[in-house]
Amino acid sequence: MADLGETVRAACTIVLSAGEAEAIADALHGRDGRDDHAGIAVPDLPGARGRVLIVDDEPVLADILSEHLADRGYEPETAVRGEDALEIVAQRPPDVVLLDITMPGIDGVTVLKRILEIDLSVPVIMVTGNGDEAIARETLRLGAFDYITKPVGFDRLDEVLSTAIAMRGQQLLASHAR
């Protein structure tokens, strides 16, 4: 139980229809689905669902995830080291980060903490091997949005990413409404 004044973050899964998810993604990227000059609908473009930074020291897995996300309409970017990920987040914050916990150099837990120092609004989804689930649960306490286990199930990945993008869109809409 949290003490008075202590900040507690929790994550949950919100099920959205495809239309709701698209509307939030459009709002996230400042699109209304129309070309203001021509008055015609703009087709979906690669990356229309959001930018996802994949941080994993296993290039084969990063490539597989990148290809899967590109096929789903996301704009993937990869980093094999924590240092590279931090530079990317600082220069051009992604909409979501997929972050491996176990990496050489700066480990995923440290990268998570630093990402949240740079931009608290970027959802970070931890990627972990089955033996690291206790650490993954600890990352939730530190501010991670959620975690998925390796081998990565694409249905679970798609679900968590969709929810993270939707929640980020809601946060951005709320901050713009102020």
The pLDDT of residue 49: 82
The pLDDT of residue 12: 47
Question: Per residue in 89-125, pLDDT tens?
Answer: 999 999 999 999 999 899 999 999 999 999 888 999 9
Question: Does residue 67 carry a pLDDT above 90?
Answer: yes
The pLDDT of residue 33: 46
**CA–CA distance from 101 to each of 5, 55, 71 (Å)?**
29, 9, 25
Question: Closest by alpha carbon to 109, among 90, 76, 82, 79?
Answer: 82
Question: Closest by alpha carbon to 31, among 43, 15, 14?
Answer: 43
- Contact predicate 149/129, CB 8 Å: yes
Six token digits for residue 141: 């306490």
**Alpha carbon 84 to chain centroid distance?**
16
Question: Does residue 24 carry a pLDDT above 70?
Answer: no
Position 130: which residue type?
A: N
Contacts of 103 (CB under 8 A, 6+ apart): 55, 56, 57, 81, 82, 111
Contacts of 148 (CB under 8 A, 6+ apart): 125, 126, 127, 128, 156, 157, 160
pTM: 0.72
The pLDDT of residue 47: 57
Strand partners, 41: 34
Strand partners, 168: none
Across the chain, what does the average pLDDT equal? 80
User: Greater confidence, 100 or 21?
Assistant: 100
Lowest-confidence region among 1-10, 33-42, 80-89, 151-160: 33-42
Question: Does residue 10 carry a pLDDT above 60?
Answer: no
Question: Per residue in 27-58, pLDDT tens?
Answer: 555 555 443 433 333 335 555 689 999 999 99
Residue with tokens 């949290």: 2
Six token digits for residue 157: 């990945």
The pLDDT of residue 36: 40
Residues in the chain: 178
Q: Is 101 exposed, middle or buried (0-12, 13-18, 19+ CB in 10 A)?
A: buried
The pLDDT of residue 79: 96
Mean predicted confidence (pLDDT) in 116-135: 88
The pLDDT of residue 20: 59
Beta strand pairing call for 40-41 and 34-35? antiparallel
